[in-house]
Structure 1
């Protein structure tokens, strides 16, 4: 047993006597308590945690071991109490108290079941699904570094980006049954254990499936059936690794996996557009919309887009749009292809904007419900084609990476945040305030 500091000893004694006032007196005024990744950031909330979590359950504590390192003081304890009614816990359970001190006071107390000898990483995850209040499911703390299965590799993440898919996960929505807790994040770039800089191709599935992996019935993306990329480390199958061009920044590389890959497939695989033809993007500042504008410009298309405000339309023009329009506005002439990310509210307008033989490519339903009316007369008399797109295959991803590098495209990334501020980035997406891509830099 280590010789513990006065504050640590007093806090443990307070737990034994269930004295919340003494417990709180051991903390700095700006201290943080993290219990199983849930943060308490005021002394009042720390005292509330003590009253509800320990005193109300008549908790008892049995100290088993302790130690001191350069960074922390840790205590291994067995906790018991009346936890069956609230948590279904009937037996005593082990916990580690990780104390971080400043000027003799507790600055941070992290409580979990991770031994101080286990390697850990910072990560952001969904604790559960909450449809009405998705942000309440968010957790941001440390987890064990994942093991690497055979045939997989570990990537030390340098940068990752946020997607609306993360909001769906926090709500509990997915193409498959989600198993929580689940680390968020569908795309990232980083470094392998051997030092090679790479980008993660996010689409996974049945390794024995033959053909385009985007139609594999078992197809899923990083962060659905596997732990995601909003962490210091992520493990993925070897085949999901693509070399990062030397000239490409990690921030640029980190946004290519979902929004930009979806945009690439929409534009180059599904639209049938040729250089010099007109295209309309139903959007102006979202992740896929900005990708379509920048890719279309680089490919020599005439790019038109729709923006809900003068500010959004101005951003689109800066990114390369030739003309911008207000929602529902009649175009001066029909276009060869329309790219629709919104769904029900814009679908009718998208159809109306198409020339004979035109193509409508859809990839989302961010407005309205999952159903939209189709003008069947226009569909077959004018030879309209409609395609749905979700991400893309690995060959398309590799082509995208090198297209972006060759044309020196700088994706629109107005916000770069540290991992600790992921909640801020997700709120901009949830509230519809996001522009371009939000990148999280480790």
Structure 2
């Protein structure tokens, strides 16, 4: 089976371990079903795997990828939900301490076929192309859970999204706008700020700029923006954290947190039920995932160009591979 996989790991030069070629078809667990992949979006999780974070060397080679859209054995077009909970787990899958993502324990989505539990398949929104739909299961689901379930954004509230251009940040801007919020976006580059304005952000300002108080902050950057996130909140506001791409911040500014009754909530991915909710939201609101670039899933040159684009940090929106 043709696949895109991590053959080696290098923290400094992750793309040196990327390979495109044939691997034996995996033996799936009982109850799992195959999905013929039509499109798959890349995520920073793929780069972390190539760097050796979250994936042990003895697990190599490992097929990469957590996002996919494809066709199930009954011919249905489906989204693949990448969170795999334990077989005996009851309840929300993201709270299972033994949960994994596809490409961590089980082969990922960047292949001709991916095997997943039948419960992890969600119908594709009819209004989306395969490339657009492939953006939903990781970045857009993460943003949906942050904006709708954790921050519980309501019409008229002010929402600050740190780090314009990233997949989760871009999704958060769109979903907060769809929820009726006033959206403030930050970035270190004017080009990404301009793209955020075009996307509909009410304010787009350089990172660290003082802004009028906000009700909620969507935080995936970490150390570089953490102090600004806390200082930007109104009393009683909430910062929802789903990543720290610039590294963790050792200072929580606890005086500010307790004196202003701030809330800090952690959020990871989302459930299959939330992915179904997201699919319904994009169908009814007209939200369309932002695609930075599309590349050929069947071409080694296309695959490498896609990973290089992701690794460059220059992408605005999602990098997608399509058949």
C-alpha distance in 1, partners of 2:192/2:13? 28
Report the counterpart of residue 277 of structure 2 in structure 1: 399
Say if 1:178 and 1:204 are closer, same or farther in 2 by CA, change over 3 A.
farther
Cα RMSD (Å): 1.4
Alignment deviations for residues 279-326 of structure 1 (CA, whole Å, 9 cap, x no partner): 000021110111001111111111110022221111101112111111
Report the counterpart of residue 319 of structure 1 in structure 2: 199
- Aligned: 1:225 with 2:105: yes
Q: Tell me by how many angstroms 1:272 deviates.
A: 2.9
Alignment deviations for residues 153-187 of structure 1 (CA, whole Å, 9 cap, x no partner): 00000000000000010011107776110001011
Specify which structure has the higher proportion of strand: 1
Say if 1:308 and 1:213 are closer, same or farther in 2 by CA, change over 3 A.
same
Report the counterpart of residue 273 of structure 1 in structure 2: 153
Q: Tell me by how many angstroms 1:148 deviates.
A: 4.2
Report the counterpart of residue 364 of structure 1 in structure 2: 243
Q: Tell me by how many angstroms 1:365 deviates.
A: 1.3
Contact 1:172 1:178 in 2 (8 A): no
Say if 1:239 and 1:178 are closer, same or farther in 2 by CA, change over 3 A.
farther
Q: TM-score scaled by structure 2?
A: 0.95
Aligned partner of residue 165 in structure 2, secondary structure: coil
Which of the pair has the greater relative contact order for Cα pairs under 8 Å at 6+ separation? 2
Gaps of 5+ in 2: none
Partner residue of 2:164 out of 284, 300, 307: 284
Alignment deviations for residues 370-422 of structure 1 (CA, whole Å, 9 cap, x no partner): 33311111101111000111101122111011111111211110200012222
Q: Tell me by how many angstroms 1:438 deviates.
A: 0.4
Contact 1:176 1:225 in 2 (8 A): no
Report the counterpart of residue 431 of structure 1 in structure 2: 312
Deviation larger for 308-317 or 142-151: 142-151
C-alpha distance in 1, partners of 2:261/2:42? 37
Partner residue of 1:376 out of 244, 254, 262: 254
Say if 1:364 and 1:135 are closer, same or farther in 2 by CA, change over 3 A.
same
- Aligned: 1:414 with 2:292: yes
Report the counterpart of residue 16 of structure 2 in structure 1: 136
Q: TM-score scaled by structure 1?
A: 0.70
Gaps of 5+ in 1: 1-120
Alignment of 1:43-442 (within 5 A): 121-174=1-54, 179-331=59-211, 333-367=212-246, 369-419=247-297, 420=299, 421-442=302-323
C-alpha distance in 1, partners of 2:285/2:2? 35
Alignment deviations for residues 117-170 of structure 1 (CA, whole Å, 9 cap, x no partner): xxxx32110002222221111101122334444200000000000000000100
Contact 1:178 1:224 in 2 (8 A): no
Alignment deviations for residues 63-94 of structure 1 (CA, whole Å, 9 cap, x no partner): xxxxxxxxxxxxxxxxxxxxxxxxxxxxxxxx
Report the counterpart of residue 62 of structure 1 in structure 2: none
Say if 1:177 and 1:339 are closer, same or farther in 2 by CA, change over 3 A.
farther
Q: Which runs of 4+ in 1 moved over 4 A?
A: 175-178
Contact 2:9 2:57 in 1 (8 A): no
Deviation larger for 231-240 or 247-256: 247-256
Contact 1:278 1:336 in 2 (8 A): yes
